[in-house]
Chains A and B, each alone.
Chain A
């Protein structure tokens, strides 16, 4: 059988982001895959050394527009550790709220894209319709639909007052009801979705550990790792249990994300109700000095920032390791042997965020 090489990307409607997968096909079976990256590299790590360390929050936020708040949060946690700033408790709870808000919107976006990659257009539309409710909450509380821009070093920029918290709670409940009534039954029971996802892109627990998979990719294979367990921001107070599935296929990863959406809604409501009164922002004096690390859980997995400062306005080094970078190797295990038609489903099942990976 003749081998065909399909250039999957860098421009492809199923993968909105420019990553190229060179798929070697035998008939319709994938025998080899070669991810080619670098189309979206901007050099943010270098730019972060050129900018004032306070301005870096905004550039870090724009590493990835989907989980922008969590990038800003990770940066701020590290910068606060270096400048020895104690963040007020109310700000920590607000940070949990916005983190979970961006996680919800990221997971919904992903679930929609998955449905789209399977050709299930009406489900895609339904999920994105539900997602608009989350974006409305974001616009109401943070002033923008996707890039919240509320986290800065020393706390947060916007407060959520009692009235707004009540409104948010109301909207969250409405959102949950929509999930329950229209989306969850389809995702959980639809036979065509199961046929496309169950058993596709198998990743065993051993392989996940060996390849260093993070986030829902590893949790779908039964590895219960979630950085929120470390209790950064206010996760310790809010309380948290990771969502784990054991099957290790694309469907398990779908279920992890679908269940996490529910968990996020609960966490958001908890964070709002447990939020103490007080300051939301403290003044930052002093400049970053020494070294620091900060780890957070992005919708896609563990995000690590490494900082080195020398007591000036600028950082000496900022190193970012994003979850997709850790998850791409798993594609090399999952893709070979699958059918061409399953490539989008399997590739999407790690939720690749190329903008994060290449920065």
Chain B
């Protein structure tokens, strides 16, 4: 009982440690955080390696229509596709993918 007292007494008179997300004290993620996945439509050569290695099957490469479908709500953000891509066409952001009221999918048209 008494051993908890100093801690709570100290807490009572000091500023709370809470980060006031989403109003202020928004902390930038650490460098290298595995966040959102982006495709570079200029570099991609539609080889389909990313779709093959993806453990969650979140990427669909359609080489006939020259497009990539990416499902952020299937992706587990492991970053394997980023490591696998030989063209360096896939990049990973340091910010997490935001919640949404519906499961959107992202369509990338490949120009090359």
Would A and B touch once assembled, by the CB under 8 A criterion?
yes
> Chain A residues in contact with chain B, CB under 8 A?
51-52, 54-55, 58-59, 62, 120, 122-123, 126, 129, 136, 139-140, 143-144, 149, 157-158, 182, 185-186, 189-192
Question: Whole-angstrom distance between the alpha carbons of A59 and B80 in the complex?
Answer: 13
> Chain B residues in contact with chain A, CB under 8 A?
1, 3-4, 6-8, 17, 29-30, 32-34, 53, 55-56, 76-80, 83
Q: Are A55 and B8 in contact (CB under 8 A)?
A: no
Q: Are A190 and B55 in contact (CB under 8 A)?
A: no
Cβ–Cβ < 8 Å partners of A182 in chain B: 6-7
Q: Are B29 and A139 in contact (CB under 8 A)?
A: yes
Q: Are B53 and A126 in contact (CB under 8 A)?
A: no
Q: Are B1 and A191 in contact (CB under 8 A)?
A: yes
Chain B interface SS verdict (over half): loop
Q: Are B76 and A143 in contact (CB under 8 A)?
A: no
Cβ–Cβ < 8 Å partners of A143 in chain B: 30, 32-34, 79
Question: Whole-angstrom distance between the alpha carbons of A129 and B11 in the complex?
Answer: 12
Cβ–Cβ < 8 Å partners of A136 in chain B: 30
Q: Are A58 and B30 in contact (CB under 8 A)?
A: no
Question: Whole-angstrom distance between the alpha carbons of A191 and B1 in the complex?
Answer: 6
Q: Are A59 and B30 in contact (CB under 8 A)?
A: no
Q: Are A186 and B3 in contact (CB under 8 A)?
A: yes
Q: Which residue of B lies closest to A185 (CB)?
A: B3
Q: Which residue of A lies closest to B29 (CB)?
A: A139
Cβ–Cβ < 8 Å partners of B29 in chain A: 139
Q: Which residue of B lies closest to A122 (CB)?
A: B8
Q: B17, B76, B78: which has the most chain A beta carbons within 10 Å?
A: B78
Q: Which residue of A lies closest to B8 (CB)?
A: A122
Q: A129-B17, A149-B34 are in contact. Are A59 and B3 (CB under 8 A)?
A: no
Q: A58-B55, A59-B55, A139-B30 are in contact. Are A149 and B1 (CB under 8 A)?
A: no
Question: Whole-angstrom distance between the alpha carbons of A55 and B54 in the complex?
Answer: 7
Q: Which residue of B lies closest to A184 (CB)?
A: B3
Question: Whole-angstrom distance between the alpha carbons of A191 and B2 in the complex?
Answer: 9
Q: Are A58 and B76 in contact (CB under 8 A)?
A: yes
Q: A52, A55, A189: which has the most chain B beta carbons within 10 Å?
A: A55
Cβ–Cβ < 8 Å partners of A140 in chain B: 30, 32
Question: Whole-angstrom distance between the alpha carbons of A55 and B80 in the complex?
Answer: 9
Q: Are A144 and B34 in contact (CB under 8 A)?
A: yes
Q: A186-B4, A191-B1 are in contact. Are A144 and B33 (CB under 8 A)?
A: yes
Question: Whole-angstrom distance between the alpha carbons of A150 and B2 in the complex?
Answer: 42
Q: A54-B53, A58-B76 are in contact. Are A122 and B33 (CB under 8 A)?
A: no
Question: Whole-angstrom distance between the alpha carbons of A265 and B95 in the complex?
Answer: 29
Cβ–Cβ < 8 Å partners of A185 in chain B: 3
Instruction: Name the distance in Å between A314's Cβ and chain B's nearest Cβ.
Output: 14
Instruction: Name the distance in Å between B79's Cβ and chain A's nearest Cβ.
Output: 7
Q: Are B55 and A126 in contact (CB under 8 A)?
A: no
Q: Are A55 and B55 in contact (CB under 8 A)?
A: yes
Question: Whole-angstrom distance between the alpha carbons of A129 and B10 in the complex?
Answer: 15
Question: Whole-angstrom distance between the alpha carbons of A62 and B78 in the complex?
Answer: 11
Question: Whole-angstrom distance between the alpha carbons of A88 and B48 in the complex?
Answer: 30
Instruction: Name the distance in Å between B32's Cβ and chain A's nearest Cβ.
Output: 5
Cβ–Cβ < 8 Å partners of A126 in chain B: 7
Question: Whole-angstrom distance between the alpha carbons of A182 and B3 in the complex?
Answer: 8
Question: Whole-angstrom distance between the alpha carbons of A319 and B32 in the complex?
Answer: 33
Cβ–Cβ < 8 Å partners of A186 in chain B: 3-4, 7
Cβ–Cβ < 8 Å partners of A129 in chain B: 17
Instruction: Name the distance in Å between B18's Cβ and chain A's nearest Cβ.
Output: 10
Given contacts A51-B55, A144-B34, A158-B32, 6 further A-B contacts (CB under 8 A): A136-B30, A140-B32, A143-B30, A144-B33, A149-B34, A182-B6
